[in-house]
Structures are given as structure tokens and as C-alpha cells.
Amino acid sequence: MKTLFSVPNLLSLGNLLCGCIAVFNVIDGNIGIAVYLVMLACVFDFLDGFAARGLKQGSPMGKELDSLADMVTFGVVPGMVMFQLIRFAGLPHDSLSNDTGWREYLPYVGFIIPLFSGLRLAKFNVDTRQSESFIGLPTLANALLICGLPVLFGIDNQEAYRFSGFSYYLQDAVPNAWGMFNEFALAVALFWRSQTTLVAISVVMSVLLISPLPMFSFKIKSVKWKGNEIQYIFLAVTLSLFGILHLAALPLIILTYILMSIVYAVRIKPRS
């Protein structure tokens, strides 16, 4: 019983609880709450591994429990968030109109995210090459990008989707030059909030989950610069983006992570 309810396992259960409550909130239309729950789950996910190593309480059961929790929080939840985003994007501006045609089925494309997340987690559990780095996009990173989209758009429910957007964050970031950015921001918001773009994001991110792309780990082994260059640069970029856009920076941070991993794999890794 003591092993069953060890500190790392309790933290993994905290991750799973966040995922379960997030699922309910997405179904209930409270996407904003679900996003914060996913971020809280990320903290639990980090702490369970940290506790397992620090307390020497790692176990095969704990590893499986961690993956099961990740499947719900970082697989099912982002899939449901994407389902809602695509569905909201397809809603007619006239609430009395129901003429959506075949587009009403597009939201179900979002559910390929939990399918590929399951493949990614199963692959990770049996792949001994991923102890120091990742092969393919981690489910946590994918979940942060997908769940960060509502924050970027200023969405917490269906009505908010219709009346707010990305332009709000650009206005906050560049208040003195807002006039010249107004039309550009509107064009960007319309592009990123279209059904076609969201479907494309679902497909591309799902493929990245099981891709052979080497991706660096977030772990910093020591405080020294040497050997941790990519992690420190990424941390600096992350803090800068957070300082400018706050939580709306999440998708941009994950995109930066993907691009830096590509550069690291192509230019740095072969020289080492």
C-alpha cells in the first residue's frame, strides 16, 4: 500500500485529476479553465519525476501510471480543445443559420491528436534511446501548443471566440504603433482561426509526435553553460516571450522549441 501511494504516484494522480477536470470543462465550454488545468498538470508531471529520482521511489508501475496520466491530460484534453476550436471556427456568424454542410464533421479531425499521443507514449516507454533526449515531439509540448491557442486567440468560451482574438495581444505588445498593425493583426487572426488552418495544425502536430526528429530535453544537468547551451538559450527565449505576451506566448514557445531542435539536430549534433 505504501508503494502504491508513494509521493511520485500521488503527483502523477494529481496530473490525472487535472486532466479529468479539464475534460469536463472543455465539454462544458470552459476552455480557459481547461488550459490552466493543463498547465498545472505540467507542474505535477515535472514534480513526479523529480520526486522519483530524489526520493529513490521510481518503479515500473510509477512509469506506467505517469504515461496513463499523460494520455488523458496531454492527449485527450488537447484533442478535445482542438475539436472545440475547429467547431467554433465553423459556426456561422448568423446564429439562426445552420447551413454548415460537410464542415460540421471537420471538428472530429481534432481527435487524431489523442490517437497519435497514445502512439507517442507507447513508443517512448519501449524506446531506450530517449533517456537523455526525445525522438519526436513530446506529448507535453504538443499539449501546450494546442491548449495555448485559445489563450492566443483570447478565447474561454464560444462567445469569446466570436468577439475577441489575436489582435488584442498585439495591441497590448505594441501600443504606440497599433494603428499600422491593426489590419495585419486582423489578417493574422482570421488565418489562424480558420477551420482549414486548425485542421492542418492537428495533422502536422500529430505527425511530429511520432516523427524520427531528435528533440533536445528540457533538463539542465548542471549550472554550467557548456553542455547546456541549447537549454539556456531556449530558457532565455521562453522568458522573453512570456514577458511580452504572457500565457499567449505558449504556442510561440513550442514552435521555437521545434525549430531549435531541428537546428540542433542538423548543425550541432553531427559535430559532437
What DSSP string describes 175-195?
GGGHHHHHHHHHHHHHHHTSH
CB neighbourhood size of 94 (10 A)? 8
The CATH architecture that domain 7-89+107-121+132-213 belongs to is Up-down Bundle (1.20)
pLDDT, position 220: 63
pLDDT, position 62: 86
The H-or-E segment that residue 62 falls in is: helix 60-71
Q: Are 61 and 119 in contact (CB under 8 A)?
A: no
Measured CA to CA, the distance from residue 203 to residue 205 in angstroms comes to: 6
Instruction: Give 31: exposed, middle or buried? Use CB within 10 Å, 0-12, 13-18, 19+.
Output: buried
Residues 6+ apart with CB under 8 A from 116: 206, 207, 209, 210
DSSP for 68-90 reads HHHHIIIIIHHHHHHHHHHHHHT
pLDDT, position 201: 95
**Amino acid found at 233:** I
pLDDT, position 176: 46
pTM above 0.75? yes
pLDDT, position 248: 84
**Residue numbers of the chain with a pLDDT score lower than 50:** 93-97, 161-178, 180, 270-272
